[in-house]
Amino acid sequence: MSGWEIVTDTNRADGLDIMVSESVTCPPGKIVVGGGADIPSAATLSAFDKQAISKSSPFMFTDGTNGWSAQAREVGIGTLDWWDLRVHAICVDAP
């Protein structure tokens, strides 16, 4: 596999959101071969362990646009603090 790169983006839940989604798209001429998501930061330590990744998967549309999409949600009693969802796509040159 040649021409690989990792595309990353982050979406911040503002404290009122109980669910957050984010997608990253591979550049033109590249296809997604892997990816994932994490919750890298939160406003406070007490807010950090109150989320879970509920979806993480590749996508491809009929126009050739492709990448990785993820969703995270608060669990238990949740938090009023902000927290981040970060999504990564591993993209390579299309054959």
**Which ranges of the chain would DSSP assign to H, the alpha helix?**
45-48
Range of the domain at 14: 5-93
pLDDT at 53 over 90: yes
How many residues in total does the chain contain?
95
pLDDT band, very low/low/confident/very high, at 59 (cuts 50, 70, 90): very high
Q: How many domains does the chain have?
A: 1
- Angstrom distances, CA of residue 75 to CA of 5, 19, 48: 33, 10, 11
The DSSP bridge pattern shows strands 51-60 and 66-74 to be: antiparallel
Kindly state the average pLDDT of the residues 16-23: 91
CATH number, domain of 29, equals 2.60.40.2080
Give the C-alpha separation, 54 to 72, whole Å.
5
